[in-house]
A and B are shown apart, each in its own frame.
Chain A
Amino acid sequence: MYSPDIIIEALLNGLLTGAIYALVALGLTLVYGVLHIINFAHGALLAAAMFAVLLINQLFGVDPYVQIPFLTVIFFAVGYGLQRLIIGPASHGRDENILLVTLGLSIVIENLLLAGFGSDTRSLNTDYSFNVYEVGPYLLSQVRVFGAAGALVTAALLWLFLSRSDTGKAIRAVAREKIGASLQGIDVAHVYAVTFGLGCACLAVAACLLLPTFYVNPKIGSAFVLVAFTIVVLGGMGSIVGAMLGGLIIGVVESMSGLFLGESLGQIGIFVIFILTLLLRPTGLFGAKA
Chain B
Amino acid sequence: MTKLHDQISRRTVLGGGAALAATLAMPGVLRAQEPKSVKIGILQPVTGNLAQDGELGRTGAEYAIKAVNDAGGIPSLGGATLEMVFGDARSTPEGGTAEVERMQSEGVAGIVGGFASPICLASSQAAARYDLPYVVDVGVSDKIVQRDLSNTFRFGPGFGTCSKTAIENLVKLNEAAGKPARTVVLVHEDGLFGSGLAKLMATELPKYGFEIFETIAHPTPARDMSNVALRIRSLKPDLIIPSSYYGETVLLMRTLYQQRVRPMGYYSVLNGAASNMRFVKEFPEIANLDMDCNHWHDPRKEEAIQLKKAVEDAGGLWAYNIPLNYSCVKLLADAIDRAGSVEPKAINEALAASTFEGHVMPYGPTKFDKGQNTGAAPVSLQVQDETIKVIYPEEFADAKPVFPISG
Contacts and interface: CB of A to CB of B under 8 A. Distances in A.
Determine if chain A interacts with chain B: yes
Interface residues of B, number: 37
B259 A139 contact: yes
A263 B219 contact: yes
Interface residues of A, number: 44
A234 to B, nearest CB: 17
Interface stretch (A83-91, A120-128, A169-177, A236-244): A120-128
B39 to A, nearest CB: 25
B223 interface: yes
Contacts of A267: 219
Interface string B193-234: 000000000000000000000001111011110111011001
A13 B228 CA distance: 11
A69 interface: no
A71 B251 CA distance: 25
B223 A17 contact: yes
Best-surrounded residue of B234, B254, B257, B258 (most CB of chain A within 10 A):
B258
A255 interface: yes
Contacts of B257: 130
B52 to A, nearest CB: 5
B371 to A, nearest CB: 29
A262 B260 CA distance: 22
Nearest to B316: A118
Contact of B223 (A129, A132, A224): A224
B251 A264 contact: no
A119 B49 CA distance: 8
A215 B54 contact: no
Contacts of B234: 2-3, 6
Interface in B320-378: none
B302 interface: no
A2 B246 CA distance: 29
Contact of B246 (A6, A121, A129, A224): A121
B388 interface: no
A271 to B, nearest CB: 12
A195 interface: no
Chain B CB count within 10 A is highest, among A6, A119, A215, A218, for A119
Contact of A264 (B217, B254, B282): B217
A141 interface: yes
B247 interface: yes
B216 A262 contact: yes
Interface string A246-272: 000000001100110011101100000
Contacts of B54: 119
Nearest to A220: B221
A255 B283 CA distance: 26
Contact of A263 (B227, B246, B259, B278): B227
Given A125-B283, A130-B257, A132-B259, A119 B52 contact: yes
A119 B221 contact: no
Given A263-B218, A264-B218, A13 B250 contact: no
Contacts of B230: 6, 9-10, 13
A119 B283 contact: no
A214 B251 contact: yes
B212 to A, nearest CB: 15
A16 B283 CA distance: 24
A219 B49 contact: yes
A179 interface: no
B47 interface: yes
A282 B171 CA distance: 57
Interface string A200-243: 00000000000001110111101110010000000000000000
A46 B11 CA distance: 79
Nearest to B224: A17
Enumerate the 6 nearest inter-chain pairs by beta-carbon distance, A residue then B residue, closest first: A119-B51, A263-B218, A13-B226, A264-B190, A223-B221, A264-B217
Interface of B: 46-49, 51-52, 54-55, 190, 216-219, 221-224, 226-228, 230-231, 234, 246-247, 250-251, 254-255, 257-260, 278, 282-283, 317
Given A10-B227, A120-B52, A125-B282, 5 more contacts: A2-B234, A13-B226, A17-B226, A132-B258, A141-B258
Interface of A: 2-3, 6, 9-10, 13, 16-17, 111, 114, 118-123, 125, 129-132, 139, 141, 144, 213-215, 217-220, 222-224, 227, 254-255, 258-259, 262-264, 266-267
25 contacts: A6-B230, A9-B230, A10-B227, A10-B230, A13-B227, A114-B47, A119-B47, A120-B278, A123-B282, A123-B283, A129-B254, A131-B258, A139-B258, A139-B259, A141-B226, A214-B223, A219-B49, A219-B51, A224-B223, A227-B223, A254-B224, A258-B227, A262-B216, A264-B218, A266-B219
